[in-house]
Amino acid sequence: MPDKKRKRIGPVLVAVDFSESSANALLWGARAADAFGAPLLAVHVVHDPGSTPGYYQHVRKAKKHIHRIEEAAEEMMADFVKRVRSKHPKLAALKAMEIRLVVGLPVNRILEIAKRRAARQIVVGSRGRSGLPALLIGSKALKVAQLAPMPVTIVKGREWGPK
């Protein structure tokens, strides 16, 4: 008989920014979620309008449009998820994944959601900046890894696992 007090498994949280690196991170996270029997949670943090311009530029149907930041992020997330799901239709975690868009500073919001949801793991992509640009700009992935109380996987480079 299943233990009713058994703790619910926290999600594998994948932070995405619509880049190829974050697509690879999402695939890695989906495979990890399937292996753990855990839910998958994809999170995009819309930069706080107080620290960045309040608009994203999004190319849609070969025309450039300027949208309010949240509207553009929502469309971009839908396109991103559709693209990843269509390339990997057999990944169960991708089919059932929860999608969240939040406003704020990326590192802070990723950690806040991970803690609140008791994430099993955080997965982030890395573009592999090094040297002076990394020192000046700092790596969001590295900051998440340094500050997170749960395991963090940084996915670099190519797509992982079977296609």
In order of start, what are the domains of the chain with their CATH numbers?
12-156 (3.40.50.620)
Predicted pLDDT of residue 126 = 85
Q: Which strand (E) or helix (H) includes residue 11? A: none
Residue 23 has pLDDT above 50, yes or no: yes
Predicted pLDDT of residue 130 = 56
The residue-averaged pLDDT of 132-149 equals 75
Q: Rounded to 10 degrees, what is the CA torsion of 130, 14, 116, 6?
A: -130
Cβ atoms 72, 79 nearer than 8 A? no
Question: Quick one: what percent of the chain has pLDDT higher than 70?
Answer: 72
Q: Which strand (E) or helix (H) includes residue 117? A: none
Bigger pLDDT: 140 or 26?
26
Predicted pLDDT of residue 42 = 98
Taking CB atoms within 8 Å and a gap of at least 24, the contacts of 156-162 are 156/21, 156/125, 156/126, 156/128, 157/24, 157/128, 158/24, 159/23, 159/24, 159/27, 160/24, 160/27, 160/28, 160/31, 161/27, 161/28, 161/31
Least trusted range by pLDDT, from 31-35, 116-120, 137-141, 157-161: 157-161
Residue 125 has pLDDT above 50, yes or no: yes
> Amino acid identity of 17?
D
The residue-averaged pLDDT of 11-28 equals 95
Find where tokens 């998820």 sit.
81
| Cβ neighbours of 149 (radius 10 Å) | 10
pLDDT tens string 37-89 = 999 999 999 976 665 554 455 545 445 555 577 888 999 999 999 999 999 99
Predicted pLDDT of residue 144 = 95
155 Cβ partners below 8 Å, 6+ apart? Answer: 21, 24, 25, 28, 123, 124, 125, 126
Residue 129 has pLDDT above 60, yes or no: no
| Cβ neighbours of 22 (radius 10 Å) | 24
